Amino acid sequence: EAQVTQNPRYLITVTGKKLTVTCSQNMNHEYMSWYRQDPGLGLRQIYYSMNVEVTDKGDVPEGYKVSRKEKRNFPLILESPSPNQTSLYFCASSEIWASGANVLTFGAGSRLTVL
Amino acid sequence: RKEVEQDPGPFNVPEGATVAFNCTYSNSASQSFFWYRQDCRKEPKLLMSVYSSGNEDGRFTAQLNRASQYISLLIRDSKLSDSATYLCVVRVSGGYNKLIFGAGTRLAVHP
């Protein structure tokens, strides 16, 4: 089954404790992206990647890091989480068309709480 | 001003009703448009793309008005299973990554 898999799905952590949210897709998609979703704000892009070793900042990259060492994986790293990073996080992937990233396939989401 | 704006709702409608959502976008360089559906606590999923000529998929009709910079979604004969949040998504030219999401419009269909 074609899918994007995120882990963990739920996490409660404390300020400053480094954590990684993993994301893996089995569709051989070039494009991968991380979003956070907060009430009333919609999905906001954190980082995206056009291919292996190619990553770039989205609209809200502060406090986050990513890497793309393999095509299928795109982990999101919070080096020193803070309470304002409490949010629902989605990883997504898509093919790249000439017009850009196309229809996104999303992971099931990771709900992160930072105390 | 948000780049993509939607009425947050909720729209509370009875089964069988027709309901319409609008979405406005501010960037005239926007080139592609989509409606996604998001069930409570779940991931967004593509409902339909929006084409310039308008398009229909069963009970769902999407329209695009480039001059006024808005997109609409019409749902006819609402079902209980249509209850969800509907996200308007706009792709802006000039960057492969630039998909802008609206905050969503919540629909609640009741018996």
Chain A residues closer than 8 Å to B98 by CB: 100
B47, B39 contact by CB (below 8 A)? no
Q: Which residues of B touch A49 (CB under 8 A)?
A: none
B31-69 pLDDT, tens digit each: 789 999 999 989 999 999 898 888 999 999 999 999 999
For residues A62-97, one letter each, b for 16 or more C-beta atoms within 10 angstroms of the residue's C-beta and e for the rest, the string is: eebebbbeeebbbbbebeebeeebbbbbbbbbbeee
**pLDDT 10s digits, A29-65:** 999 999 999 988 889 999 999 899 999 999 899 999 9
The nearest alpha carbon in chain B to A48 belongs to B97
